[in-house]
A and B are shown apart, each in its own frame.
Chain A
Amino acid sequence: MFNNKRLFILLITLVMFIVLMGFSLGPRKALTWPENFLRDTTGFVQNLFYKPAGYIAGFFEDIGNLKDLAQENERLKILAAQYARDKAQYNFIESENVRLEKLNKFTKAQENMYKYEYHVAQVLGITTEPGNSTLVINLGSKDGVKLNMSVISDKGLVGVVSQVSNFTSTVKLMTMMDVNDPNSQPAIAATAIEKVNSTFGMIERYDPETKKLIMNRIPPGDPIKPGDEIISSGIGGLYPRGLVIGKVDSVDVGEFGLTSSAVITPAAEFEDWKELIVVYTEERVE
């Protein structure tokens, strides 16, 4: 079936592929120009398809949701009232905070630490294969997107920018978080709402079998309990502060008995999106 020449070519290609895979596995700062060109041109074509399809699908979904509309309206009114109240409170606290920062002579870097910019991005295409679930958005390095910026939906954290080309970038979903992958998203330092100063843990991986995130290294005596809403704490600096991640499902003693680990239901559903928000963080020396 195989003569010598063919076998030789086959082996060479095999080796080439292994080299390519190994090479692309490590962290890469920038893409080469053929990659950039391919991604940007297909991004343009994808743009023509994804959005109209989303509108059509959204239209049918809206018809389906019609009967829940009154209820949702009621809920939103309550939320709006709450928001108005909180906003007044927030203004006071913010001005107080600025005054204290001045008083304590904060440096420019410290002042800008938690100032984030939010940019809306259109989704161009999705692949939801378990081994490689990524999506493409229409913001690229020309719009100021950088590697490892967080991407959120209206519900919560969705993923992290994994590759940037000129006009598009690829977002690696949280479902690909994995401690064994050298190229994976770094662990998220997390805390719980209303327990910001007392709860701490690292969200390290996603379990595709149960579809939950696992939060490890919770110190003993931590007041975390099921039902807590988990947010990113901003420690470490890679992930911005205050991104909603999910709700605690259960807490149990971790692998070595010293620390606990929690199972977290992700807030964002990893499904179809029209728009996502990229969180631009200040450039900072790590």
Chain B
Amino acid sequence: MKMRRSILILLLFLLSILETTILPWIIPDAWQTRIVPNLVFIVILFVTVYHHRHTALVLGLTFGMLHDVIFYGRILGAHSFTMGLSAYLIGLVFQIPRAPLPMMLSVVLLGSLLADSMLFGIYNVFNLNQQPYSWAIMYHMLPTMLFHFAMALLLYVPLRRQLEYLKKETLKEDNA
């Protein structure tokens, strides 16, 4: 009875593929460097709020690492670290199984900003970007936040339902 869990992992894998293959074609060319879609992270934020932060931590670490290895340009581990840690931190504060829609959306905004800032920090530590933080916020973090907001709105109902099922399943497992 681990159906739902494998569905969640498959969904995340599918999203990680989609965001680098289909989305670049859909996002207008002028916005391509400004919107950095990270659909996987949105789902992980849902998991951290509605399910459990430890699950989110593990998912963030694995799927971040997947992204790092495939698009290995500079360093390994940057996405893994940011996605895992920011999902965990968000979960530490906002793990509310009955959180309403507006709450969840603001969590997505906050989480997206947190992850992007963390990534910026890591690149800064290793001296890989020369731009100031204020420029990065206006250039790509804000558009990305808004994009993630819209995506979270679209994904809210189906994701919530899946996570509800997942919860029931884990409860049943615990009782058995």
Contacts and interface: CB of A to CB of B under 8 A. Distances in A.
Interface stretch (B40-48, B68-76, B105-113): B68-76
Contacts, number: 135
Interface stretch (A109-117, A175-183, A252-260): A175-183
Interface string B43-81: 000000000000000000000001101111111111011
A200 B34 CA distance: 34
B33 A183 contact: no
B71 A136 contact: yes
A175 B80 CA distance: 23
B2 to A, nearest CB: 22
Given A25-B126, A45-B17, A49-B17, A271 B29 contact: yes
Contacts of A31: 72
Interface in A17-52: 17, 20-25, 31, 35, 38-39, 42-43, 45-46, 49-50
A31 B77 CA distance: 15
Contacts of A131: 74, 78, 119-120, 123, 128-129
Interface in A124-165: 124-136, 162-163
Contacts of A247: none
A38 B67 CA distance: 10
A69 to B, nearest CB: 20
Contacts of A132: 71, 73-74, 78
Residue of B75, B122, B126 with most partner-chain A CB within 10 A: B75
B76 to A, nearest CB: 4
A162 to B, nearest CB: 6
Interface residues of B, number: 41
B21 A130 contact: no
Interface string B29-42: 10011001000000
A39 B70 contact: yes
A1 interface: yes
Interface of A: 1, 17, 20-25, 31, 35, 38-39, 42-43, 45-46, 49-50, 53-54, 56-57, 124-136, 162-163, 170, 172, 175-176, 178, 180-181, 183, 208-209, 269-272
15 contacts: A17-B81, A20-B77, A31-B72, A49-B21, A56-B25, A57-B25, A126-B24, A130-B33, A131-B78, A131-B120, A132-B78, A170-B72, A208-B139, A209-B131, A209-B139
